[in-house]
Structure 1
């Protein structure tokens, strides 16, 4: 082969390779970017801890169904008694976050119903009725705006610009988040809607509500500033040495036309609420710190009679949790 021909072939081959050689690294999946950004915001990684809701406490108890539950669902978790494991938590991936700090809100509750043959079902809620984003991509944008604002000199800061363009996120940020006297006095709300089916095959969409039987109780502004950074984690074991406490678990049902696939859409209080049963907490789990490191709760760990809606936030949550969970296990 002539040298000139060989040179032309080489140049042609090189140009054909250029798009591959200089191609940008493909972006990580959104779920992985969410975990990365949450970890960055928490000053992590913090080996062995969740990327969000890192600080928590574990208790145990039992669920007793209400007769009215059968009107809504045939799901065995709400039609028969079951033992439960419950984890409360602070928001963010900071393992030593102060319980009364604004960044530690919303608080979280994860309930595992323990069924026969080692089966289980989970219910995962937060202490605010609503969510700041419609999609995982939008939630990632919110977190990235928070991260970009830390050292930004821009006016407005990235987070201010984001909130100005996303009314639902601004509404979530501005929603009052009072400091509870105890996890036992804190109400919780389902972020996402689920489809409930009863024994007659009738279906309704609904969101969970978890309300303290003794009523919601919060600290006033002065008391909230004065409490210890770990006051919620210390208060609960002492409370359980004295007595058990309970919540009423209910479902708020959507009316026709209500948005069931948008986590930012809060339904009016006038919507029907059906009681599912009573959650009673009576024991502090002494091995909770070790137990929670190897436990992953998932809002899509469901049973017959409850199905996921098409809410994109709902479907992203288990994927994101799984990535965080795998990193947690690998760090041991």
Structure 2
């Protein structure tokens, strides 16, 4: 696989360190090393995220289904619609990356639900169908390998060596496309979570957000010709005319399905429970200002929803918090 394709995937989801900085990084936690890698590769941009730096914030509401209440006691599934703030984003830590650039994939979708009791629930999904690696350490090593595998790197490059032992890396990025609109793309939860119902029954699941308007993707040539900000500009313009809706589904795990390995997608014949509708109605007045205050933590959950044994969840929480702290300084 060519360096550019692996670098794009590694950025969406490198780190070439001097001997001195490598020793310092090894003393840091893995989430710190991951954020350091992104800051080194893409630069530190004041007030911007280490990854998924370019985005747009919109608002809407979530309306649950009756079926959702049978799966979980979570308050978000019991009662009327609740407000939701959503940030769509491009990959990489480059805030000026063109939306049609191959490195801008996978696109992200992060949501903050404001619950009836004043609490919050966060959900973070993206356009990958499954993650390229299974552990935080592997993700860190993938970033480092990508950064060390420039055009002049001798073969086999660090990336080629990594991919040789991690075949899920190229497979994960192979099916990721550039949509004609952020409202015309499926967003997946690559990590498993757990519903808990009134009887205490635990049901592992993964989120899936499916656009009611259907999917629509551009080929690489067409995407490259679009305006650099076409996705970020199109969504607010679309919302000014009409709402955008997503079906919110939960893919239910069957016995034997792994909940701790995000590289393993569950078979498509698994039950898809319809748990609600996300309806987006407007862009926020100042998206750049609004996103500065937003911190999305995948473990910010109400009673009735729990994290699974996937080690990537905690690493994501810590990495997001570290990135937030740095961009707030």
Give me the TM-score of the superposition, normalised by structure 2: 0.90
In the alignment of these two chains, the number of paired residues is 306
Secondary structure (helix, strand or coil) at the match of 2:207 reads: strand
Bigger shift: 138-147 or 197-206? 197-206
Displacement, 1:298? Answer: 0.7
Matched, 1:277 2:276: yes
Secondary structure (helix, strand or coil) at the match of 2:69 reads: helix
Residue in structure 2 matched with residue 4 of structure 1 by the alignment: none
Residue in structure 2 matched with residue 154 of structure 1 by the alignment: 154
Q: Distance in 1 between matches of 2:253 and 2:159?
A: 32
Secondary structure (helix, strand or coil) at the match of 1:251 reads: strand
CA contact (8 A) 1:54 1:95 kept: yes
Matched, 1:202 2:201: yes
- CA shift in 2, pair 1:157/1:71, >3 Å: same
Residue in structure 2 matched with residue 116 of structure 1 by the alignment: 116
Bigger shift: 141-150 or 163-172? 163-172
Residue in structure 1 matched with residue 191 of structure 2 by the alignment: 192
Q: Distance in 2 between matches of 1:205 and 1:106?
A: 24
CA contact (8 A) 1:132 1:264 kept: yes
Residue in structure 2 matched with residue 242 of structure 1 by the alignment: 241
Bigger shift: 159-168 or 133-142? 159-168
Matched, 1:94 2:85: no
Residue in structure 1 matched with residue 29 of structure 2 by the alignment: 29
The within-5 A match list for 1:57-206 is 57-80=56-79, 81-150=81-150, 152-173=152-173, 175-206=174-205
Q: Distance in 1 between matches of 2:293 and 2:112?
A: 14
Secondary structure (helix, strand or coil) at the match of 1:250 reads: strand
CA contact (8 A) 1:110 1:297 kept: yes
- CA shift in 2, pair 1:24/1:91, >3 Å: closer
Residue in structure 1 matched with residue 305 of structure 2 by the alignment: 306
Bigger shift: 193-202 or 276-285? 193-202
Residue in structure 2 matched with residue 8 of structure 1 by the alignment: none
Displacement, 1:283? Answer: 0.7
Q: Distance in 2 between matches of 1:209 and 1:116?
A: 23
Secondary structure (helix, strand or coil) at the match of 1:91 reads: coil
Secondary structure (helix, strand or coil) at the match of 2:122 reads: strand
Can you give the 5+ residue segments of structure 2 that lack an aligned partner in the other structure?
Answer: 1-22
1:96-144 alpha-carbon deviations (Å, 9 max, x no partner): 1111111111100011111235321101001111101111000000000
Q: Distance in 2 between matches of 1:234 and 1:156?
A: 41
CA contact (8 A) 2:65 2:274 kept: yes
Secondary structure (helix, strand or coil) at the match of 2:72 reads: coil
Can you give the 5+ residue segments of structure 1 that lack an aligned partner in the other structure?
Answer: 1-22
Q: Distance in 2 between matches of 1:179 and 1:283?
A: 23
CA contact (8 A) 2:82 2:116 kept: no
Displacement, 1:71? Answer: 2.5
CA contact (8 A) 1:164 1:170 kept: no
Displacement, 1:221? Answer: 4.1
Based on CA coordinates, which of the two structures has the bigger radius of gyration? 1
Q: Distance in 1 between matches of 2:99 and 2:207?
A: 24
CA contact (8 A) 1:183 1:232 kept: yes
- CA shift in 2, pair 1:159/1:245, >3 Å: same
Structure 1 segments of 4+ aligned residues over 4 angstroms from their partners: 23-26
Displacement, 1:50? Answer: 0.3
Secondary structure (helix, strand or coil) at the match of 2:145 reads: helix
